[in-house]
Amino acid sequence: MMENIEWFKNTTCGLIVHFGLYSILAGEYKGKRMTSYCEWIQSYARIPNIEYEKLAQNFNPKYFNAKKLVKFAKRHGFGYIILTAKHHDGFCLFDSKYDDWNITHTPYKKDIVGQLSNWCHKYNIKFGVYYSQDLDWHEPNGGGYNCDNSDCAGTSWCNDWDFVRDKNYNQYFNTKVLTQVEELCSQYGDIDLFWFDTPKTISLKQSQQLYDLVKKLQPNCLINSRLGNGCYDYVTLGDNEIPATLTENTSKDFNDINGIKYSKHCLFESVCTLNDTWGYSKFDSNFKSVNEIKKIKDNLNALGICYTINIGPDGNGRIPKQSLEILSKLNK
């Protein structure tokens, strides 16, 4: 792990890719529009699973090109790529044996996590996976049911439009989460970064269990702070959080995604969008300028914080032209 710690300290920027069924909707469902957090549209529009599942029947991102993305990252100075293997809708971009709610049971049929990991390894780009360990709207026992909905990007952290709020997160964790995290750690070669998110329900024991599982199967992998409960190797700041100073708050709630928590390895990351959304939106053209992005990167790097920049392909797998233009000029 020490090698990856030193690598992370010397890395200035990388990419995170938000891609999934929500990319098809592009920020709109039956007249309801979102301009930010469009990957949350199932919760925002309260789309029943029986309707949302129909998106999988038409998911065929034939223009997604993992090799091209990796070569772009390599050419323009990005040290790693993180892919949303499973977001809050529970849909997986990998061949999970847990159930059929994954990309191999779509017209596309191919494992995108596998494609991206293969090309990252060939081009010596560090590879990471994003996995939503708490929220899962496809599961009756997905997390987020025990907290206030006032600050969520949709209407509810949990799926309370299909299922009752009387849920059993332990059952979901023991059957789906542990199974799929083990699959990810066992099937795709070296994983350098494991990016968890939104620890609303997970207990300390469960966070430690996941941390230990990843370390057992991927001993060199670095795990981010959004696993929850203080089990992490590096600190991920809040969404689009750009601090003026690097002042650690040791009393910070470990399950609050915002703020600068203690980092025993002095590893920090700020994860940011180029426009106003993570998942693709056909309505969001509010892209930052190259100069704005460069200023953010310079300020973060001066504080020793790595800059993780989001790209959101559309439902056909195409990365927005504006994103590519901005990113191609960032490190010049």
- The confidence score (pLDDT) of residue 249 equals 72
Q: Is the pLDDT of residue 145 over 70?
A: yes
The pair of three-digit structure tokens given for residue 288, joined into one six-digit string: 């930052």
Is the pTM here over 0.75, yes or no? yes
- The confidence score (pLDDT) of residue 107 equals 98
Q: What is the mean pLDDT of residues 121-128?
A: 98
Q: How far apart are CA 67 and CA 297, in angstroms?
A: 25
If you average pLDDT over every residue of the chain, what do you get? 96
Q: What is the mean pLDDT of residues 140-148?
A: 92
Q: How far apart are CA 14 and CA 124, in angstroms?
A: 13
- pLDDT tens sequence across 192-206: 999 999 999 999 999
Secondary-structure breakdown of the chain: helix, strand, coil percentages, each rounded to the nearest 5? 35, 15, 50
- Quick one: which H or E segment has residue 52? helix 49-52
Q: How far apart are CA 262 and CA 242, in angstroms?
A: 17
Q: Is the pLDDT of residue 1 over 90?
A: no
- Return the SS3 of 204: helix
Q: Is the pLDDT of residue 118 over 90?
A: yes
- The confidence score (pLDDT) of residue 250 equals 62
Q: Is the pLDDT of residue 251 over 80?
A: no
Q: What is the mean pLDDT of residues 20-28?
A: 98
- Bigger pLDDT: 91 vs 247: 91
- pLDDT tens sequence across 271-289: 999 999 999 999 999 999 9
Q: How far apart are CA 115 and CA 112, in angstroms?
A: 5
Which one-letter DSSP state was computed for residue 66? H
2-330: CATH topology: TIM Barrel (3.20.20)
Least confident of 19-33, 248-262, 307-321: 248-262
**Residues 6 or more apart from 255 whose CB is under 8 A from it?**
199, 200, 228, 229
The pair of three-digit structure tokens given for residue 8, joined into one six-digit string: 């992370």
Q: How far apart are CA 12 and CA 301, in angstroms?
A: 6
- Could you give the percent of the chain with pLDDT greater than 70? 99
- The confidence score (pLDDT) of residue 253 equals 86
Angle value at C-alpha 157, between 153 and 158, nearest 5 degrees: 145
Q: Is the pLDDT of residue 13 over 60?
A: yes
- The confidence score (pLDDT) of residue 80 equals 98
DSSP string, 150-219: TTSSSS-SS-TTTS-S---HHHHIIIIIHHHHHHHHHHSS---EEEE---SS--HHHHHHHHHHHHHH-T
- The confidence score (pLDDT) of residue 143 equals 96
Helices (H) and strands (E) in the chain, counts: 11, 10
